């Protein structure tokens, strides 16, 4: 989009300089017609909502039906900036900082980071925005919350889009039975440890920068400005602990020598998702393996799966246009 607008501006300037050329004038008219039909990126604004005993910061663009984007660890609303611009052209596109993150409230009580409270945060935020039904798009921990939301409140969702986030029933199975997923999930035990904040914040968050942004900085889908935005979010007082508390409160992770049980973080309710669901999966995700797709249709009767062979856990950033295309096709958001 940015490249198209730059090209358009150049063409207009070029035509103006050659105003006596009939051919140039015809090109100028054609460009003007093109600009009328090409949607501009929606402007992002920032708001706060007091819901469910916390204050949530959220970024929003556009108006109309609600489409909500929910980030995972260790991201924040900024994960979805491209989607806000894209889908804000037709919807009210909203991306909150989840409780514990960036500019939202950060409860000090570990119990306040149970999945049920984040589910209620989303329900209350949608209600605050005046919407009884909406589209939910989520990644990583945001996806875990979104699965639980869809199980608890299917009547509130028009469509569900999950990106590299395992269904709780499938993930419980994989953690119990799949040695490869058990090995891939060892990091969760570190995240739950008292040393996690020190490890992840050392040297100006060097570990998080490398894991989340390293490849993107090399390949150009992250910039230095993006890096600074992430470090600023992680540096908010209590924000790193807030994000880690999701793991701690859920006690999620592989079995250990001292604790061979695997937690089902969605609770005891039925795990069937009665919502039309699109699951997009970067197949090179080294933390959440493709075994999490096997048997998913048993829990999700109305399921579409899109695999991205070259995508990693950070596929939203790596393959933004492809992700947007799949979402657009699934929800029918043609401009």
**122, part of any domain:** yes
Q: 31: which 2 tokens?
A: 């460009």
247 is catalytic: yes
**14, part of any domain:** no
Which helix H or strand E contains 101, and what residues bound it?
none
- Give pLDDT, residue 74: 98
**37, part of any domain:** no
- Give pLDDT, residue 177: 95
CA 296 to chain centre: 20
Residue 22 CB: number of other CB atoms within 10 A?
8
Q: Sheet harboring 66-70: ordered strands across?
A: 45-51, 54-61, 92-96, 66-70, 134-139, 157-163, 277-282, 303-308
**162, part of any domain:** yes
**181, part of any domain:** yes
b/e per residue 249-262 (b: at least 16 CB within 10 A): bbebbbeeeeeeeb
Domain count, the chain: 1
- Give pLDDT, residue 42: 78
- Give pLDDT, residue 265: 54
- Give pLDDT, residue 37: 45
**35, part of any domain:** no
**29, part of any domain:** no
Between CA 294 and CA 2 the distance in angstroms is: 39
Of the residues 230, 313, 317, 326, only one is catalytic, namely: 313
b/e per residue 98-130 (b: at least 16 CB within 10 A): bbbbbbbbbbeeeebbebebbbbbbbbbbeebe
The domain containing residue 297 runs over which residues?
A: 45-331
Between CA 143 and CA 236 the distance in angstroms is: 23
Instruction: Output the domain CATH number for residue 49.
Output: 3.40.50.1820
CA 142 to chain centre: 6
**6, part of any domain:** no
- Give pLDDT, residue 32: 42
Of the residues 58, 101, 246, 247, only one is catalytic, namely: 247
313 is catalytic: yes
| Cis preceding-peptide flag for 74 (omega within 30 of 0) | yes
140 is catalytic: yes
Q: Which residues of the chain have pLDDT under 50?
A: 1-38, 268, 335
- Give pLDDT, residue 257: 79
Of the residues 101, 140, 246, 299, only one is catalytic, namely: 140
For residues 96 and 70, the answer to whether their CB atoms sit within 8 Å is yes
What DSSP state is assigned to residue 59? Answer: E
For residues 182 and 252, the answer to whether their CB atoms sit within 8 Å is no
What tens digit of pLDDT does each residue of 49-63 get? 999 999 999 999 999
């Amino acid at each position: 989009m940015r490249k198209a607008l730059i090209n358009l501006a150049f063409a207009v300037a070029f035509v103006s300089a050659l105003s006596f050329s009939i051919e140039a004038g015809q090109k100028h008219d054609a460009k003007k017609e093109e600009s009328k039909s090409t949607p501009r990126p929606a402007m992002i604004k920032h708001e706060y909502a007091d819901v469910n005993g916390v204050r949530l910061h959220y970024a929003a663009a556009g108006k109309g039906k609600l489409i909500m984007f929910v980030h995972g660890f260790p991201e924040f609303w900024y994960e979805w900036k491209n989607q806000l611009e894209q889908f804000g052209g037709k919807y009210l596109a909203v991306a909150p900082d989840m409780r514990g993150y960036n500019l939202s409230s950060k409860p000090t009580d570990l119990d306040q980071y149970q999945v049920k409270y984040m589910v209620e945060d989303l329900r209350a935020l949608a209600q605050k925005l005046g919407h009884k039904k909406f589209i939910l798009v989520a990644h990583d921990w945001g996806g875990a919350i979104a699965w639980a939301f869809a199980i608890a409140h299917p009547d509130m969702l028009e469509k569900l889009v999950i990106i590299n986030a395992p269904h709780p029933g499938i993930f419980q199975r994989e953690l119990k039975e799949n040695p490869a997923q058990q090995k891939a999930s060892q990091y969760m035990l570190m995240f739950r440890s008292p040393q996690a904040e020190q490890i992840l914040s050392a040297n100006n968050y060097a570990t998080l920068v490398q894991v989340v942004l390293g490849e993107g900085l090399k390949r150009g889908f992250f910039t230095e400005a993006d890096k600074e935005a992430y470090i600023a979010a992680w540096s908010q007082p209590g924000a790193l602990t807030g994000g880690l508390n999701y793991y701690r409160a859920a006690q999620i992770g592989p079995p250990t020598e001292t604790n061979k049980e695997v937690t089902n973080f969605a609770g005891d309710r039925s795990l069937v998702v009665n919502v039309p669901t699109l699951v997009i999966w970067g197949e090179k995700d080294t933390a959440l393996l493709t075994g999490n797709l096997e048997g998913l249709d048993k829990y999700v009767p109305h399921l579409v799966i899109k695999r991205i062979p070259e995508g990693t856990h950070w596929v939203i950033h790596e393959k933004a246009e492809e992700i947007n295309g799949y979402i657009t096709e699934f929800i029918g958001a043609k401009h």
